[in-house]
Amino acid sequence: MRLLFLGTGAAGSKNKPEAEIKEGQRRCSSMMIDHNILVDVAMQSFDYATKLGEDTGAITDIFLSHTHRDHYVKETLLAYAAAAGQKINFWCHEGAVADLGLSDQEAALINICPVKCMQKWETAGMTVTALPANHLAGGPRQQPLHYIFEKDGKTLFYGCDGGWFRADTWEYLRAKNVVFNAMILEATVGELPGNFRIGTHNTVPMLRLLLEALRENAMLPRDAIRIADHLGVPPYDTVQKDDYGLLTELGMTVAYDGLVMEI
């Protein structure tokens, strides 16, 4: 799997279409997998993919974590839909459909695919599983999602937003004996003490405990790739010379806009 990070920031990152991105600043979170799959449609995702020379018309499937504006912008979704030569499959929680804000005419341009938690399906050469995330978004029926992507014997976890795993997500992973080759985990709060976001986002101490639990329960081999993503403003807007402190000590690769990785 080829991963291209089109945005690695949390809410508060640069989210205007033509906003200047200076050193240390990040676009809102979005990621491309294997040229044809996109996770989340943040404001600058389409423009940045185009700038990087990616074929935006090759996108066949888009996966939405939730409808907070740093992950979902209708205009970005429609830009990908317009570039594609066919209808794009747009996967989202069944309760999120009403929160998309699409007119009947706009919805007709996209193949909206509602999913349930713990659902597994195949599309675009991938096996995908939707798991409930510990986060709140949109209307009362919407459940934010984490995703598991499986292809060619590789298993990738994508989790931006979510903090601690929900109990049912944790028990699903244990019961299914899931082993990850790579995990993308949000590190929004960093080392800020007592930050209000702790209820739905990870701190570095939380990540340390989570990674240890994953290893002890045989879900995360020691040679698995661990990626820190969805970095908050603050604290990461003040980072100097890529000094990410305890994230680096945890053996995590800190994602940045434009990063390409092979899993």
Do residues 107 and 158 touch, judged by C-beta distance below 8 A? Answer: no
Task: Note the pLDDT tens digit of each residue in 2-15.
Answer: 999 999 999 887 76
Write the DSSP assignment of 138-180 as a string of letters.
SSTT---EEEEEEETTEEEEEESS-SSPPHHHHHHHHHTT---
pTM of the entire predicted model: 0.95
Cα dihedral across residues 199, 190, 169, 175: positive or negative: negative
Q: Specify whether the CB–CB gap between 116 and 141 falls below 8 A.
A: no
The full set of domain ranges for the chain reads 2-262
Q: Rounded to 10 degrees, what is the CA torsion of 31, 34, 37, 38?
A: 10
Q: Which CATH architecture has domain 2-262?
A: 4-Layer Sandwich (3.60)
- Please write the tens of the pLDDT for every residue from 167-207: 999 999 999 999 999 999 999 998 888 888 888 999 999 99
> Over its length of 263 residues, how does the chain's per-residue pLDDT go in tens digits?
999 999 999 988 776 666 777 766 899 999 999 999 999 999 999 999 999 999 999 999 999 999 999 999 999 999 999 999 899 999 999 999 999 999 999 999 999 999 999 999 999 999 999 999 999 987 889 999 999 999 999 999 999 999 899 999 999 999 999 999 999 999 999 888 888 888 899 999 999 999 999 999 999 999 999 999 999 887 777 666 677 777 888 899 999 999 999 99
Upper half-sphere CA count for residue 249 (Cβ side, 13 Å): 8
Radius of gyration in angstroms for the set of CA atoms belonging to the chain, rounded to a whole number: 17
